[in-house]
């Protein structure tokens, strides 16, 4: 049966509940306790982003795609999930994985170059970070489809950027999820650039959320720097997916304040005035102003948030400043549950060479 396309269309403008000045503009603003907890998570997230960027310059991380300025998307994506729900992050979604429960040192093992994945994905239901664009989306749909077949209430949050929506995997994932009504929330963080390619050069659609219509998936747009709106829109999308209403597509309008990575020179494709225009829309500034105006954010609470953020940054520094001695045999230990004959042959070859060099 073809769904009524009018019910699939996103709103004309991104949903906003708290404006850039910190004033409520909607009636569905989450309660103060929820937003206060979110502010604490945002402050820690910003501190981790900045600390990781510094560790790149010190040679302790190979690369770091910062989510500075996009922390509200990161925090909200994890906070709306239950413990048994799955998160499928991209390379820029370290903060989301940390909010879901992954230790930040383990989360950054990939970008340090120690491991493909430094944590057990099953422990916190967080899939490994993926660097190839959108390849995690079909995997996310598979997990959601399996959960539905087993009758489990699991919802999967499948994250990608605006550049990921130009990939074939994005469209294949949406189509399969829609046909089989997989409980997946596709969460697109539209930060205006796919590395150096602006959005206007990669999509002619009215919005990225409109792309769901072609697959029978309802879409919604949300202000990606408004923590309250994100919690509301993403929370509703998760509720619908869990209730058996099939996949949902949410596009968050945000902005990548820093370069794509430390290897990128953003001044080659955008000017300072464009970046400066987004600074007043910062998610932390906005939420802080709202909570101060409500009288629920005290100086003592701000101090406690800052101290917690510094502890998290210190833990990150200590963890990444520790070197490990990798075991070459681990190259073969975690590829297949039952290694192939070719893999066993290669493992024996390496072991023999290392033995003759006295390394084993």
Among the ranges given (114-118, 243-247, 252-256, 350-354), the one the predictor scored with the smallest mean pLDDT:
114-118
Return d(Cα 29, Cα 282) in angstroms, integer.
18
**What average pLDDT does this structure show over 287-309?**
97
E-strand ranges in the chain read 86-88, 156-161, 184-190, 193-194, 197-198, 219-223, 248-253
Output the pLDDT for position 328: 85
Long-range contacts formed by 264-270: CB under 8 A, 24+ apart: 264/195, 264/196, 266/196, 268/196, 269/193, 269/196, 269/198, 270/193, 270/198
**What average pLDDT does this structure show over 150-165?**
97
- Provide φ and ψ at 75, rounded to 5°: -65, -45
Q: Are 78 and 87 in contact (CB under 8 A)?
A: yes
Asked if pLDDT for residue 3 goes beyond 80, the answer is no
Output the pLDDT for position 113: 87
Q: pLDDT by residue (tens digit) across 104-144?
A: 999 999 999 888 888 999 999 999 999 999 999 999 999 99
**What average pLDDT does this structure show over 200-228?**
96
Asked if pLDDT for residue 329 goes beyond 90, the answer is no
Percent of the chain with pLDDT over 70: 99
Return d(Cα 99, Cα 79) in angstroms, integer.
7
pLDDT grade for 82, boundaries at 50, 70 and 90? very high
**What average pLDDT does this structure show over 225-251?**
98
Q: pLDDT by residue (tens digit) across 19-77?
A: 999 999 978 899 999 999 999 999 999 999 999 999 999 999 999 999 999 999 999 99
Q: Are 74 and 67 in contact (CB under 8 A)?
A: yes
Q: Specify the pTM.
A: 0.94
pLDDT grade for 333, boundaries at 50, 70 and 90? confident
Output the pLDDT for position 337: 86
At a CB cut-off of 8 Å and minimum separation 6, what does 27 contact?
none
Mean pLDDT score of the chain? 94
**What average pLDDT does this structure show over 231-255?**
97
Output the pLDDT for position 34: 98
Asked if pLDDT for residue 2 goes beyond 60, the answer is no
Q: Are 180 and 148 in contact (CB under 8 A)?
A: yes
Percent of the chain with pLDDT over 90: 88
- Specify the higher pLDDT residue, 307 or 329: 307
Return d(Cα 198, Cα 196) in angstroms, integer.
6
Output the pLDDT for position 360: 65
């Amino acid at each position: 049966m073809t769904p009524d396309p009018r019910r699939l269309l996103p709103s004309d403008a991104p949903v906003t509940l708290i404006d850039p000045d910190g004033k409520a503009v909607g009636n569905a603003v989450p309660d103060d306790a929820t937003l206060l907890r979110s502010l604490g998570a945002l402050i820690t997230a910003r501190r981790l982003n900045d600390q990781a960027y510094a560790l790149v310059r010190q040679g302790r991380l190979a690369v770091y795609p910062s989510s500075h300025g996009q922390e509200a998307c990161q925090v909200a994506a994890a906070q709306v999930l239950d413990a048994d729900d799955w998160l499928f992050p991209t390379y820029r979604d370290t903060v989301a994985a940390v909010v879901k429960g992954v230790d930040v040192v383990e989360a950054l093992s990939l970008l340090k170059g120690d491991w493909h994945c430094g944590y057990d994905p099953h422990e916190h239901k967080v899939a490994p970070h993926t660097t190839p664009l959108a390849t995690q989306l079909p995997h996310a749909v598979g997990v959601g489809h399996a959960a539905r077949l087993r009758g489990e209430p699991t919802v999967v949050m499948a994250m990608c950027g605006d550049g990921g929506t130009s990939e074939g995997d994005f469209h294949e994932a949406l189509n399969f999820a829609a046909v089989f009504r997989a409980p997946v929330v596709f969460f697109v963080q539209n930060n205006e650039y796919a590395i150096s390619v602006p959005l206007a050069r990669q999509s002619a659609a009215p919005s990225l959320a409109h792309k769901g219509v072609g697959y029978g998936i309802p879409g919604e747009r949300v202000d990606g720097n408004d923590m309250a709106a994100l919690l509301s829109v993403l929370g509703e999308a998760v509720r619908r997916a869990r209730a058996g209403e099939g996949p949902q597509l949410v596009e968050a309008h945000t902005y990548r304040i820093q370069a794509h990575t430390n290897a990128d020179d953003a001044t080659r494709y955008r000017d300072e005035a464009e970046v400066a225009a987004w600074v007043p829309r910062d998610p932390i500034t906005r939420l802080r102003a709202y909570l101060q105006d409500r009288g629920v954010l005290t100086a003592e609470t701000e101090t406690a948030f800052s101290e917690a953020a510094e502890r998290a940054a210190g833990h990150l520094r200590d963890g990444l400043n520790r070197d490990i001695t990798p075991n070459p045999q681990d190259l073969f230990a975690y590829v297949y549950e039952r290694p192939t004959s070719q893999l066993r042959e290669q493992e024996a070859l390496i072991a023999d060479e290392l033995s003759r060099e006295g390394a084993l």
